[in-house]
């Protein structure tokens, strides 16, 4: 209205109203889908934003849409920033979806479709109310803003989020979201959270300093979320596990650079051309002011070359540097040892070292920045002093971005087990619920005498404590029950909850039952494969007269459920054996000598036999087996 009131000519307003068009679409209830129509409406030629599509998908059809918008959705918009909401929303939702679907990585090209798939898979709008989704999105929007926009209230967390944010490594945001949510659900302590954030910053910066490629991290971080969820679900040590997971990537593209690699990179690289040089120098400076960090975000401070970039053009600098070639100079001028911070770059400019030290307002002698303190004691600046200062700064860097330590045996205990392709996935509490081994309303009772309490199974397959808090993880639910009673520490909830009463089965027993059922299903599939394979082979062999002459008609053989089959050849000391395996996808045939007799004579004729085998056009390889399963392969 203020803009309309500022228009002096009313004809302008009238002309605008005459161009206004109103579109009214009538829908038939039960036949037309208003959301699909909304998705396809586009009168401006500009694609509808994911934020608009998702908001309408969630709220459409809900009672009291205005109330839901004001109570839940509007706070999400405010948290993410109303001015940049549309741009930020896609990144936020994709990060949230990554936490929900880890280790899977949602499509970046169609966040809206991935969002709809997640709601469908989780049963929102059917088994689970949309208000539960809105509460979760609102909670995660608060985390996301704290991580990416500096809105965190706690000073310790805010400072660490700021350090990580300045590294511009958004690929880590889903992991940070997951950590924050687990922290709020008491999976680990505040000090553990601070320590893990410091470790993640060190991991990211060391890799950047060592120019380790970042490709693959976008899929690796979701895998970390899934593995940490498993540790948490089993009541393990969260912080210890993350440390081990990061250190166990040594020798891979996801490695945590060692002190030696980190030091060498900082001492030898072009630090001035390093994209994170300003971040590095300001972090080193603020390490001297842990309780009152200097705000370097104002732009007042810049990077200063102590020895100017054009020093070789000045006689004073040439005399101080001595006999230094241009190539050696190039290695010194941008070295970390020759860089500092100043608010007076233009004043210092290309002055001599004595001039830079002596300036009353901006000289190094009066500089209060700790990073320049050592310069006060020096009377000259050359290759030796640059190298010495570089070593000092690098040592400080190793302390700031430290490599975490952990007991070697503990670290190895977190190494992934080598499993065959197709290994079963982890069974979750919801899997047990969906399998019908638990049902809505089932009572869960603490099996630990020290901490008593009950919970119920919800319609969504979650665990609801007596205070109304809900968890999908048995361990998290029990950890929170313990904390409310003054306890602490990790717990494996699978071994702490019984079903129905104190004498009921542990929910871990139900999980084992489900796992056993899955194993039985897998074995049944293998047996089914074997029966079909051998029936087909016997039938095929019985169509070949040469085979019948040598081994007899196979059509009358009994059903074979084993992985091997034997064929006689009219000799008591050997037989032909065939084997087949579904899992490893192999089939072979060999001559088996139970006592080893006759093998040597047959082996003497190896060339003759293999030649005849090849002349017959046979493919594959022949196998001879001697004694107790010792197989000798030929061909």
Number of Cβ within a 10 Å radius of residue 66: 8
Q: Where are the domains of the chain?
A: 167-257, 261-400, 438-489+499-504, 514-634
Contact between residue 491 and residue 235 where contact means Cβ atoms under 8 Å apart: yes
What pLDDT, on the 0 to 100 scale, is given for residue 7?
Answer: 78
What pLDDT, on the 0 to 100 scale, is given for residue 507?
Answer: 95
Where is average pLDDT lowest: 160-164, 347-351, 427-431, 456-460? 347-351
User: Based on the number of CB atoms within 10 Å of its own CB, is 189 exposed (0-12), middle (13-18) or buried (19 or more)?
Assistant: middle
**Between 405 and 559, residue with greater pLDDT:** 405
What pLDDT, on the 0 to 100 scale, is given for residue 421?
Answer: 44
What pLDDT, on the 0 to 100 scale, is given for residue 43?
Answer: 45
Contact between residue 339 and residue 272 where contact means Cβ atoms under 8 Å apart: yes
**Between 374 and 384, residue with greater pLDDT:** 384
Cα–Cα nearest to 262, from 210, 214, 211, 212: 210
Contact between residue 470 and residue 462 where contact means Cβ atoms under 8 Å apart: yes
DSSP-derived 3-state class of residue 97: helix
- Overall average pLDDT of the 373-390 stretch: 91
DSSP 588: E
DSSP 565: E
pLDDT tens string 133-176: 999 999 999 999 999 999 999 999 999 999 999 999 999 999 99
Contact between residue 180 and residue 194 where contact means Cβ atoms under 8 Å apart: no
Under the banding of pLDDT at 50, 70 and 90, the label for residue 626 is very low
* CA dist., res. 71 & res. 51, Å (int): 17
Q: Please state, in angstroms and as integers, the Cα–Cα distance from residue 171 to each residue in 168, 418, 428, 521, following that order.
A: 9, 27, 26, 39
Task: Give 593's strand partners.
Answer: 626
pLDDT mean across residues, the chain = 83
User: Which position has the token pair 């889903």?
Assistant: 174
237: CB partners within 8 A, 6+ apart:
231, 490
What pLDDT, on the 0 to 100 scale, is given for residue 13?
Answer: 77
pLDDT tens string 8-57: 787 877 887 777 776 665 655 555 455 544 554 554 455 678 888 899 88
What pLDDT, on the 0 to 100 scale, is given for residue 505?
Answer: 93
Sheet containing strand 586-593, edge to edge, reads 564-567, 575-581, 586-593, 622-626, 630-634
pLDDT tens string 83-97: 778 789 999 999 999
Under the banding of pLDDT at 50, 70 and 90, the label for residue 477 is very high
pLDDT tens string 178-194: 999 999 999 999 999 99
What pLDDT, on the 0 to 100 scale, is given for residue 583?
Answer: 55
What pLDDT, on the 0 to 100 scale, is given for residue 209?
Answer: 97
* CA dist., res. 171 & res. 285, Å (int): 27
What pLDDT, on the 0 to 100 scale, is given for residue 375?
Answer: 87
Q: Where are the alpha helices (DSSP H) in 322-401?
A: 326-333, 345-348, 353-358, 383-400
Contact between residue 622 and residue 634 where contact means Cβ atoms under 8 Å apart: yes
DSSP-derived 3-state class of residue 544: coil
DSSP E strand stretches across 395-512: 443-446, 454-457, 463-465, 470-471, 497-499
Contact between residue 577 and residue 567 where contact means Cβ atoms under 8 Å apart: yes
pLDDT tens string 503-515: 999 999 999 888 8
H/E run at residue 580: strand 575-581
* CA dist., res. 99 & res. 106, Å (int): 10
Under the banding of pLDDT at 50, 70 and 90, the label for residue 424 is very low
* CA dist., res. 337 & res. 572, Å (int): 84
Cα–Cα nearest to 531, from 563, 504, 502: 563
Where is average pLDDT lowest: 117-131, 247-261, 433-447? 117-131
pTM value > 0.75: no
What pLDDT, on the 0 to 100 scale, is given for residue 5?
Answer: 72
What pLDDT, on the 0 to 100 scale, is given for residue 23?
Answer: 63
Where is average pLDDT lowest: 65-69, 575-579, 585-589, 615-619? 615-619
Under the banding of pLDDT at 50, 70 and 90, the label for residue 632 is very low
Where is average pLDDT lowest: 269-283, 314-328, 387-401, 593-607? 593-607
Residue 205, Cα to own-chain centre: how many angstroms? 17
* Structure tokens belonging to residue 313: 């053009």
Under the banding of pLDDT at 50, 70 and 90, the label for residue 422 is very low
Contact between residue 449 and residue 415 where contact means Cβ atoms under 8 Å apart: no
User: Based on the number of CB atoms within 10 Å of its own CB, is 419 exposed (0-12), middle (13-18) or buried (19 or more)?
Assistant: exposed
* CA dist., res. 262 & res. 202, Å (int): 11
């Amino acid at each position: 209205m203020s803009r309309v009131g500022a228009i002096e000519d009313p004809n302008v307003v009238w002309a605008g109203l005459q161009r206004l068009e109103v579109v009214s679409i009538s829908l038939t209830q039960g036949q037309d889908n208003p959301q699909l129509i909304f998705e396809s409406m586009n009168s401006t030629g500009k694609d509808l934003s994911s934020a608009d599509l998702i908001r309408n998908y969630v709220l459409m059809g809900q009672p009291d849409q205005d109330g839901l918008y004001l109570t839940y959705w509007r706070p999400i918009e405010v948290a993410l920033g109303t001015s940049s909401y549309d741009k930020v929303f896609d990144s936020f939702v994709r990060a949230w979806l990554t936490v929900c679907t880890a280790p899977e990585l949602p499509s970046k090209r169609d966040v809206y479709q991935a969002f709809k798939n997640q709601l469908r898979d989780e049963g929102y709008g059917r088994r689970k109310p949309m208000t539960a989704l809105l509460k979760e999105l609102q909670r995660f929007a608060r985390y996301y803003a704290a991580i990416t926009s500096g809105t965190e209230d706690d000073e310790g967390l805010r400072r660490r989020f700021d350090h990580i944010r300045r590294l511009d490594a958004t690929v880590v945001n889903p992991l940070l979201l997951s950590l924050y949510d687990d922290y709020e659900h008491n999976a680990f302590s505040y000090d553990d959270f601070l320590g893990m954030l410091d470790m993640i910053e060190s991991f990211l910066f060391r890799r950047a300093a060592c120019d380790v490629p970042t490709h693959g991290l976008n899929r690796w971080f979701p895998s970390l979320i899934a593995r940490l969820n498993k540790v948490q679900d089993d009541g393990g040590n969260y912080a210890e596990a993350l440390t081990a997971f990061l250190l166990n990537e040594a020798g891979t593209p996801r490695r945590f650079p060692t002190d030696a690699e980190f030091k060498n990179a900082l001492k030898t690289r072009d630090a001035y051309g390093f994209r994170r040089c300003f971040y590095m120098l300001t972090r080193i400076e603020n390490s001297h002011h842990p309780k009152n960090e200097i705000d370097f975000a104002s732009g007042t401070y810049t990077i200063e070359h102590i020895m100017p970039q054009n020093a070789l053009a000045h006689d004073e600098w040439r005399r101080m540097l001595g006999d230094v070639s241009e190539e050696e100079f190039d290695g010194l001028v941008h070295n970390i040892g020759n860089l500092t911070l100043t608010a007076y770059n233009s004043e210092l400019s290309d002055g001599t070292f004595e001039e830079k030290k002596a300036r009353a307002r901006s000289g190094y002698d009066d500089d209060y920045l700790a990073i320049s303190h050592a310069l006060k004691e020096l009377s000259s600046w050359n290759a030796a002093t640059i190298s010495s200062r570089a070593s000092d700064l690098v040592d400080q860097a190793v302390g700031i971005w430290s490599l975490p330590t952990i007991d070697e045996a503990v670290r190895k205990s977190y190494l992934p087990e080598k499993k065959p392709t197709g290994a079963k996935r982890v069974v979750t509490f919801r899997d047990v619920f969906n399998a019908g081994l638990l049902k809505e309303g089932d009572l869960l009772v603490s099996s630990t005498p020290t901490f008593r309490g009950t919970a119920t199974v919800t319609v969504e397959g979650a665990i609801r404590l007596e205070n109304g808090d809900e968890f999908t993880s048995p361990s998290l639910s029990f950890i929170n029950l313990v904390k409310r009673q003054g306890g602490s520490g990790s717990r494996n909830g699978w071994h702490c909850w019984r079903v129905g009463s104190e004498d009921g089965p542990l929910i871990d027993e139900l999980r084992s039952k489900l796992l056993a059922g899955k194993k039985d299903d897998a074995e049944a599939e293998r047996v089914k494969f074997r029966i079909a394979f051998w029936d087909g082979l016997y039938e095929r062999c019985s169509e070949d007269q040469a085979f019948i002459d040598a081994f007899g008609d196979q059509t009358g053989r009994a059903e074979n459920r084993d992985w091997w089959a034997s064929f006689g050849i009219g000799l008591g000391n050997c037989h032909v054996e065939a084997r087949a395996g579904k899992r490893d996808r192999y089939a072979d045939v060999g001559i088996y000598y139970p006592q080893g007799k006759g093998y040597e004579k047959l082996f003497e004729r190896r060339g003759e036999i293999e030649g005849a085998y090849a002349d017959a056009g046979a493919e594959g390889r022949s196998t001879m087996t001697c004694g107790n399963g010792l197989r000798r392969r030929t061909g």
